[in-house]
């Protein structure tokens, strides 16, 4: 059979592929080269973060050497010291404060933004674009411009060093972003499905739970993760408005650097621990990250 | 084109419903319905106005007073005197300049790098998802962590990775006394900028990558068949298509980086000529207790931001209406 088929295909196949073969091979080689380049660039770009991770597993003596000890033995000592084995301040209260501020502000943001986004996408209020741009314009007001009155207000009402003040501020900080994101996610729910459900006699709560929620759920989750990240990262408000009891993790980190000799491994461990929740949330929201960060303008 | 297709089926369906059953009390119920539609919006609006707009009004008022909290008795109306001080005070003026320089350089460099990375990632290759994850990692570090990492683990003149790696590398060639610069004191502003560029490049890359992937594939294919070179395709098709994504990246980046506090605070504590406006305002009110002056500087920042924001809103709005048309 092979003797029969090979003479028939070869003359037909050869003239067709031959002139293109070198070009295709060149293109393939070039594409493989660019793939390799992307890998190298990615690793180099991420190197500082990888170095931080590696250093956090080194002993203090190995962490602060010149030239760097790339292959030094690994240890969990820095993490143990960071979590209080060395007798320093425990990181748990700041971590719990950050968690409280981030979680509660995210919940409040969702509670306020979901109905608003509903009124701006599914059941559109008149002049809904103007309302959208009002929300966005508040995000463009520099935080620092409202800081002093907030500080004075907190001082006079005894709210200084109170984590719930941060919860309120973080809610307002993330609300515009959440409204924009969720508006774009809810607008993806086809109107025809909603109307079909209503024609079938479904009431509003049923429509929301059975029709809107399943379509919009991934977007709502991404919104929540992004709000969580922004709250967790915030430094300026936390720095000015908290002291000892309501101190958040970023504030704790800035105070972590002591003038004592060897601390680099510990500092790296602390940075890794504080960044972990954000990294986890960010990787979880990776697919919707662009849409969120560009306020829904880019899909 | 898409609007003409999508709107007609929507409006008749919507219009036919309310007209049918009841006629009596229609106006009253119409008003009630309008309020029912508006109601879900109100809590968010009221909350946002109370928490973000009222403090700014207060800032505006305080900026007209001569008010240092260390000398409470001397508080008095000062008119626009604080604004005069903002523009005549050398350190404030310098921080305006620093803010512009810092923002512009970080945004431009990270947009260029972000574009190169996006072009590299806009092709299929083995492990592309993993490389993308590697590239966005810097953006997902807590800003304070990233700044501390750069300050101590990378820039430190004695044991930082930069000098360490340089000493190791030159050591391979038998150099006994390699250059070991003190990065932060030798080039403070560049040090802050480099750390910020590292964090913001992934942001630009993500936006531009989304732009690249929204390119109509047929047109690129057609250009290739017509014999366009890679550079021609990029210059005449990709770049015009990316224009608005570039604008969006530049403007959103500017809005975030103008407000940057974390990197300046952590890396240099505003020293060595790196104090930008947010840091200077923080210092004026938190350490110098000059409430009136800090507020006036705050108002100036807001006016500057409004200028950028007006452009930003226009760009977002054009992308937004395009999305709305497509939907």
Domain boundaries, chain A: 17-49, 92-293
Question: Across the interface, which of A140, A233, A297 has its CB nearest the CB of B309?
Answer: A140
Contact between B280 and B297 under an 8 Å Cβ cutoff? The reply is: yes
How many Å separate Cα A259 from the centre of its chain?
32
Instruction: Work out the average pLDDT over B21-42.
Output: 71
Phi and psi at residue A89, to the nearest 5°:
-65, 135
ipTM of the complex: 0.82
**Closest chain B C-alpha to A10 CA, distance in angstroms:** 27
Which residues on A lie below 8 Å from B266 (Cβ)? Answer: 254
Band (pLDDT 50/70/90 cuts) for residue A260 is: low
* Residues sharing a CB contact under 8 Å with residue B281, sequence separation 6 or more, in sequence order: A144, A145, A147, B294, B297, B298, B301
A254 touches chain B (CB under 8 A): yes
Dist CA B121 CA A41 (whole Å): 10
Q: What is the pTM of this model?
A: 0.82
Band (pLDDT 50/70/90 cuts) for residue B323 is: low
Dist CA B306 CA B300 (whole Å): 10
A5-18 pLDDT, tens per residue?
444 444 444 445 55
CB A64 to CB B159 under 8 A?
A: yes
Alpha-carbon separation of residue A77 from A69, A80, A255, B73 (angstroms):
17, 5, 20, 54
Contact between A263 and A188 under an 8 Å Cβ cutoff? The reply is: no
Contact between A216 and A182 under an 8 Å Cβ cutoff? The reply is: yes
Dist CA A271 CA A275 (whole Å): 6
B178-223 pLDDT, tens per residue?
778 888 888 888 999 999 999 999 999 998 998 888 888 888 888 8
| Continuous segment of H or E residues that includes residue B66 | strand B65-66
In the block, residue with structure tokens 């807001």: B302
The CB-side HSE value for A129 (13 A sphere, CA atoms) comes to 10
| Continuous segment of H or E residues that includes residue B76 | strand B76-77
Dist CA A129 CA A125 (whole Å): 9
Is residue B247's pLDDT more than 80? Answer: yes
User: Is B2 part of any domain?
Assistant: no
Q: At what angle do helices B277-286 and B90-121 cross, to 10 degrees?
A: 140
Residues 91-110 of B with CB under 8 A from A: none
B212 touches chain A (CB under 8 A): no
Instruction: Work out the average pLDDT over B105-128.
Output: 91
Find the closest chain B residue to A63 by CA distance: B159
**Closest chain B C-alpha to A14 CA, distance in angstroms:** 22
Band (pLDDT 50/70/90 cuts) for residue B4 is: very low
Contact between B208 and B245 under an 8 Å Cβ cutoff? The reply is: yes
User: Is B282 part of any domain?
Assistant: yes
Residues 67-86 of A with CB under 8 A from B: 67-68
Query: Structure tokens of A108?
Result: 């409040």
Contact between B65 and B299 under an 8 Å Cβ cutoff? The reply is: no
A164 touches chain B (CB under 8 A): no
Contact between A77 and A58 under an 8 Å Cβ cutoff? The reply is: no
Q: Which residues pair with B65 in a beta bridge?
A: B77
Q: Which of A251-255, A288-292, B130-134 has the lowest mean pLDDT?
A: A288-292
Parent domain of B114? 85-326
User: Is B50 part of any domain?
Assistant: no
Q: Which of B254, B251, B257, B217 is nearest to B237 (CA)?
A: B217
Among the residues of A142-242, which ranges form H helices? 147-157, 163-186, 191-199, 204-206, 213-233, 236-241
Instruction: Work out the average pLDDT over B111-132.
Output: 90
Residue B290 DSSP label: B
Q: Which of A231, A298, A267, A150 is nearest to B251 (CA)?
A: A298
Dist CA B296 CA B65 (whole Å): 9
B313 touches chain A (CB under 8 A): yes
Which residues on A lie below 8 Å from B286 (Cβ)? Answer: 240
Is residue A42's pLDDT more than 70? Answer: yes
Query: Structure tokens of A256?
Result: 């972590």
Find the closest chain A residue to B242 by CA distance: A298
B58 touches chain A (CB under 8 A): yes
Query: Structure tokens of A51?
Result: 């170095």
Highest mean pLDDT among A284-298, B60-74, B188-202: B188-202
Question: Across the interface, which of A116, A143, A278 has its CB nearest the CB of B41?
Answer: A116
CB A31 to CB B41 under 8 A?
A: no
User: Is B164 part of any domain?
Assistant: yes
B65 touches chain A (CB under 8 A): no
Instruction: Work out the average pLDDT over A127-153.
Output: 83
Instruction: Work out the average pLDDT over A81-101.
Output: 83
CB B134 to CB A42 under 8 A?
A: yes
CATH number of the domain that residue B216 is part of: 1.10.3720.10
Domain count, chain B: 1
Residues 220-239 of A with CB under 8 A from B: 229, 232-233, 235-236, 239
Mean predicted lDDT score pLDDT of chain A = 81
Alpha-carbon separation of residue B54 from A34, A119, B61, B274 (angstroms):
53, 25, 11, 31
A92-293 CATH fold: MetI-like fold (1.10.3720)
A46 touches chain B (CB under 8 A): yes
Is residue B83's pLDDT more than 90? Answer: no
User: Is B75 part of any domain?
Assistant: no
- What is the per-residue pLDDT for B183? 83
């Amino acid at each position: 059979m092979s003797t029969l088929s090979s003479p028939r295909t070869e003359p037909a196949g050869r003239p067709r592929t031959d002139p293109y073969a070198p070009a295709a091979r060149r293109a393939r080689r070039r594409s493989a080269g660019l793939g390799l380049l992307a890998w190298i660039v990615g690793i180099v770009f991420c190197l500082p973060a990888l170095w931080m991770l590696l250093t956090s597993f080194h002993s203090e003596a190995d962490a602060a050497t010149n030239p760097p000890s790339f292959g030094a033995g690994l240890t969990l000592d820095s993490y143990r010291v960071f979590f209080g084995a060395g007798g320093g301040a425990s990181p748990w209260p700041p971590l719990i404060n950050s968690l409280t501020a981030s979680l509660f502000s995210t919940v409040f943001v969702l509670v306020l933004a979901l109905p608003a986004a509903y009124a701006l996408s599914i059941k559109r209020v008149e002049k809904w674009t103007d309302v959208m741009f009002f929300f966005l314009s508040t995000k463009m007001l520099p935080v620092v411009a409202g800081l002093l009155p907030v500080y004075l207000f907190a001082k006079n009402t005894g709210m200084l060093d109170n984590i719930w003040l941060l919860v309120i501020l973080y809610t307002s900080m993330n609300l515009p972003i959440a409204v924009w994101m969720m508006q774009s996610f809810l607008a993806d729910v086809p109107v025809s499905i909603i109307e079909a459900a209503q024609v079938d006699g479904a009431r509003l709560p049923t429509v929301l739970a059975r029709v809107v929620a399943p379509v919009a759920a991934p977007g709502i989750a991404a919104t929540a993760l992004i709000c969580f990240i922004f709250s967790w990262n915030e430094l300026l408000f936390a720095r000015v408005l908290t002291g000892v009891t309501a101190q958040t993790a970023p504030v704790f980190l800035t105070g972590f650097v002591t003038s004592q000799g060897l601390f680099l491994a510990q500092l790296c461990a602390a940075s890794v621990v504080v960044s972990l929740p954000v990294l986890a949330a960010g990787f979880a929201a990776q697919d919707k990250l662009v849409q969120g960060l560009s306020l829904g303008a880019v899909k | 084109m898409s609007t003409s297709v999508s709107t007609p089926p929507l409006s008749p369906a919507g219009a036919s419903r309310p007209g049918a059953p009841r006629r009596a009390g229609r106006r009253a119920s119409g008003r009630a319905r309008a309020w029912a539609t508006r109601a879900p919006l109100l809590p968010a609006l009221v909350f946002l106005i109370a928490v973000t707009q009222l403090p700014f009004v207060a800032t505006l008022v305080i900026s007209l007073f001569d008010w240092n909290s260390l000398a409470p008795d001397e508080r008095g109306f000062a008119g626009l005197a604080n604004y005069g001080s903002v523009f005549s005070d050398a350190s404030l003026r310098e921080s305006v300049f620093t803010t512009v320089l810092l923002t512009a350089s970080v945004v431009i460099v990270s947009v260029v790098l972000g574009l190169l990375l996006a072009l590299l990632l806009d092709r299929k290759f083995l492990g592309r998802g993993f490389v993308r994850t590697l590239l966005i990692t810097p953006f997902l570090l807590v800003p304070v962590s990233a700044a501390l990492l750069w300050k101590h683990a990378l820039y430190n003149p004695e044991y930082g990775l930069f000098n360490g790696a340089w000493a190791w590398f030159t050591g391979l060639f038998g150099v006994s006394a390699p250059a070991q610069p003190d990065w932060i004191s030798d080039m403070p502003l560049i040090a802050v900028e480099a750390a910020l560029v590292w964090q913001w490049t992934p942001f630009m890359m993500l936006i531009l990558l989304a732009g690249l992937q929204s390119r109509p594939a047929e047109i690129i294919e057609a250009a290739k068949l017509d014999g366009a070179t890679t550079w021609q395709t990029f210059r005449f098709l990709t770049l015009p298509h990316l224009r608005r994504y570039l604008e969006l990246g530049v403007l959103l980046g500017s809005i975030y980086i103008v407000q940057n506090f974390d990197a300046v605070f952590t890396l240099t504590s505003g020293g060595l000529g790196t104090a930008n406006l947010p840091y200077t305002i923080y210092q004026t009110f938190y350490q110098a207790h000059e409430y009136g002056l800090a507020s006036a500087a705050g108002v100036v920042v807001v006016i500057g931001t409004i200028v950028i924001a007006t452009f930003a809103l226009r760009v977002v709005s054009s992308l937004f209406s395009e999305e709305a048309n497509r939907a």
